[in-house]
Structure formats: C-alpha cells, structure tokens
Chains A and B, each alone.
Chain A
C-alpha cells in the first residue's frame, strides 16, 4: 500500500509492525510475515542509519522501535495508522492482531 513510498514491501511490513506493536526484532518480524530474516535485518539497518528507528540489545536480541526523536515520527506513524485501516480485514487479523498481553510460561498457547 505504501510500498511505492517506502521503496519495498519489507520496509512497509517492518514499519507497519513497529507501529502496531511498538517494537520488534528481526526474527519475530520475519516469522510473522513469512519473509527472510536477512531481508528484515538489511532494511532495519537502512532505517536505523536514516534515524527512523533505533535499537537496543536485550540479551542477545536486538530490539527495534521507532526513533521517538526523529522529527517526522509522528507524521509517519499517523500515515501508517491510516494505511492499516485500509488493509483487508483478513490481513489485519493475520498480521496485526497478534496477542500482546502476558501469557504465563507453561500455559498452552
């Protein structure tokens, strides 16, 4: 949907994911969409170099989020929020309605 603006589908998916869930790591994002983790890492690096996302290490995992200090972050998120509402309901359910509330270890999913 915003692929022509963001340059490629992977970037669009990453940014939609971060807007929806607040943060994410390449493996999780790649698995969510069934895409290659290398492709996600490559685009994350590009977005980080551009100042659009920031990352931090948590254990051995690098977690990414929108850079709250990027001057256009509010406008980008507004655009993405609107774009998500234009997605087919099946896609919203499949990718953007994943469980985010806690789940005690040992309980079946």
Chain B
C-alpha cells in the first residue's frame, strides 16, 4: 500500500481513481481539487470531491483498500493525511447545464479547465464568494491556452451574470 501521507492532491486523486476504476466505479473529480491541480497548487484544497452514480457501499469497500476507512456520512478520511474524500451527489453539472466532456489523466477523470473556471465562477455568481473568483482567475491564468473565453461568456449570459463575468475578465488582466 502507498504511503498516503506523502502524496500530493493530484497523486492522491489518481490513487483513488485507479482504485475506483479497479472496482468498476466511475467517478469524476470536481470542485476545489481541480483548482489545485490546474493552478499547480497555487490554491491548495484539502477536499477531493468525487461525483459518482455508484452506491456509497461500493465506494466504501473500494476506499478501504487504500486506507480510507474512517467514514462520516459521505466523507472518508485517514489520519495519515489532511486530505478528505467526499462523494457528492450526482449529476455533474454547472448551473443548468450537464457536463459530458471531461479531462483525463490516466484513470482520473476531472472537469476540463474551462468547466473548472465555470464551477468557480458559478460560486462567485451565486454567493458573491471572492475566494471562488480568485480561484477562477488562478486557473484561467495558469491554463490560459485551454480556456474557452467565448464559451465562458456565453454561459455567463445564460446564467444572467454578464456583469460579474466582465469583472472576472478585468481581474484576468
């Protein structure tokens, strides 16, 4: 078994994804962990949020195999690491739109950089959360060649938040 205390968030996400895949469980990494990965840990999340259609019982058995045997509700932890693994209810969506395309790193399936920015902007739009705006900017800067600004603008209009989108563009510089 790997020494999980020394793993980065990406390495841990990949270990979890490998083990879920071994157990025929499909899952998608969403949320702050994607921000950490795409911002190259400029923002450090300690939550690995996965969305799966599989039952929590199946997930529980798979996570036990890699040492995450402390379960509280849908959250799994291990005393050797600060990272926690949360299984978020499906579907994978941002606002009103389902997400069908993902980025892959081996067995790890995660939001694309553009969807990761949308996810953060969505939190900023709905809750005026300045941290989420900052994280959206971080990812957009670190992944600028992979971000589709036209799509972000279209989506922001659909979400009735074009003025906040314009502020995001200003922050992007």
- Interface residue ranges, A against B (CB under 8 Å): 45, 49-51, 68-69, 71, 74
Contact call A71/B73, Cβ cutoff below 8 A? no
- Report chain A residues within 8 Å CB of B73: 45, 49
The listed residue (B74, B96, B123) touching A71 by CB distance below 8 A is B96
User: B126: CB under 8 A from chain A?
Assistant: yes
The listed residue (B88, B96, B98) touching A51 by CB distance below 8 A is B88
Given contacts A69-B95, A71-B97, A71-B98, contact A51 B123 (CB under 8 A): no
Shortest CB-to-CB span from A58 to chain B, Å, is 13
Given contacts A49-B73, A49-B74, contact A69 B94 (CB under 8 A): yes
User: B93: CB under 8 A from chain A?
Assistant: yes
- Report chain B residues within 8 Å CB of A45: 73
Bound: A73/B128 CA distance, A = 19
- Report chain A residues within 8 Å CB of B122: 69
Bound: A33/B122 CA distance, A = 34
The closest CB in chain B to the CB of A71 belongs to B93
The listed residue (B88, B91, B98, B126) touching A68 by CB distance below 8 A is B126
Most buried by B among A45, A50, A71: A71
- Report chain B residues within 8 Å CB of A71: 91, 93, 95-98
User: B89: CB under 8 A from chain A?
Assistant: yes
A sample of 22 cross-chain residue pairs with beta-carbon separation below 8 angstroms, ordered by A number, consists of A45-B73, A49-B73, A49-B74, A49-B89, A50-B89, A51-B88, A51-B89, A68-B126, A68-B127, A69-B93, A69-B94, A69-B95, A69-B122, A69-B123, A69-B126, A71-B91, A71-B93, A71-B95, A71-B96, A71-B97, A71-B98, A74-B96
- Report chain B residues within 8 Å CB of A68: 126-127
- Report chain A residues within 8 Å CB of B93: 69, 71
Shortest CB-to-CB span from B34 to chain A, Å, is 15
The 8 A-B pairs of least Cβ separation, nearest first, read A71-B93, A51-B89, A68-B126, A50-B89, A69-B122, A71-B96, A49-B74, A69-B126
Bound: A74/B96 CA distance, A = 9
Bound: A71/B92 CA distance, A = 9
- Report chain B residues within 8 Å CB of A74: 96
Shortest CB-to-CB span from B75 to chain A, Å, is 10
- Report chain A residues within 8 Å CB of B91: 71
